Structure 1
Amino acid sequence: MIKAAAILLSCQLVGTAVSRAFGLAVPGPVLGLLALLALLALRPGLAGRIAAPSHALLANMSLLFVPAGVGAIDHFDSFGSDGPALLTALVLSTILAILAGVGAFLLVARMIGHRDE
């Protein structure tokens, strides 16, 4: 379990180091996930070894949203002055994220040759 967690954290560390070293606009954890994806493609047996810590992280994902909630309460006065802009950004980004998901699903379905019936 410790080795598997070390693999996950190492991928995140590599992604963060690359992002900061080259001044990329892509967050380090995103690059780390891409590194993990490449690692899993090269060594498929690794997926079974990192499954347990991955499930443990996902099961406790709600704990990661506590700091965001505290930050929102700390800047509550900003909601009054910037509320309409924040609401517009939230609604538009949600719609765009859903459309991106649909587009990705349709692209993958087309790539694997799935046809509507």
Structure 2
Amino acid sequence: MGWLYTHRSKEALIAERLAPTSSFTRDRTVLAHHLVGNELWTVVQWKMRVAQFIEGNAIGDAITFINLDLLDGNQGYWGYKAIPEEMGPYYYGCPLHFLDMATYGLNPAWREALRRHHGDTAA
């Protein structure tokens, strides 16, 4: 996905990205978030409203995953680029406790690199 510039302020963009939303296929809730500079890390839960939409889900299934929104200001607007964990975001500002919260779209290589990064940072 590319960049989407929609807001006049970073704060308004963040508020929208954290707000619950609904669509025909799912309800979206942010369970946890962490802002590091222009990296907005979230643990997102989708409560599915349609069966068989993602890997054989049933209606009512909860799918929980880690997402990174890269934030950027350009020509008076703020925008974001969403990168789910399964895409291997190559950024490491995600809090380690988010790993225990997410059960879908896991990326073992990225998780190991994140753990190493936090270990290196702590040392």
TM range (shorter): under 0.3
TM-score, length of structure 2 as denominator length: 0.23
Higher-Rg member (1/2) = 1
**Structure with higher strand content:** 2
Greater helix fraction, Structure 1 or Structure 2: 1
Greater RCO between the two (CA within 8 Å, min separation 6)?
2
